[in-house]
Amino acid sequence: MKQLQILCQQEEKKLSQLGLQKTTAQQQISRIEQQKQQLGQMISDYSQANSRCASAMLLQNNAQMCQVIEPMLKQLTRKQLLLQQEQQRVHGLWRKQLGRQQSIQWLYNERVQQHRQLQQKQEQKQLDDLAARYVRA
C-alpha cells in the first residue's frame, strides 16, 4: 500500500510538471501574439506615413523599415505555430497523465477502504470472541 501511495505522489508530480509546461507555453504564445501586434502596428504606421510623406528619403526609409519588420513578423508567426503545436502535444500528455493519476488515486483509495473494512471485521470478530467467552463463563 505504501508503494501505491508513493506511485500516487509521483504521478501527481508528473501531472504538475506537465501543467507547468502547458502554462509556460501559453504565456510564450501570448507574448509572441503581443509582439506580432506591435510589429503589425509598426508596419501599419510606416505604411500610413508613406501616404503623408513628401520626401523621397523618408519614403525609402519607411519602405526599408517595412522590409526589415515583415520577416520578423513571419518568424514570430512560425515560432507561434510551433509553440501551439507543442502546447497541443503537452496538453495531450497532460490529459493522459490526468487519467493515469486519477486511476491510481482511485485504486489507492479502494485499497485503503478495503484495508479499513478488513480491520473492522477483524476487530468485530475479536469483540464477538471476547463476548462469547464472557457469556460461557
Q: What is the structure's pLDDT at 86?
A: 95
Class of domain 2-132: mainly alpha
- Predicted confidence pLDDT, tens digits, the chain (137 residues): 889 999 999 999 999 999 999 999 999 999 999 999 999 999 888 888 767 766 788 888 888 888 999 999 999 999 999 999 999 999 999 999 999 999 999 999 999 999 999 999 999 999 888 888 887 76
- pTM score, two decimals? 0.74
**Which residues touch 47 (CB under 8 Å, ≥6 apart)?**
62, 66
What are the sequence ranges of the domains in the chain? 2-132
- Dist. CA 15–CA 101, nearest whole Å: 8
Q: What is the structure's pLDDT at 47?
A: 80
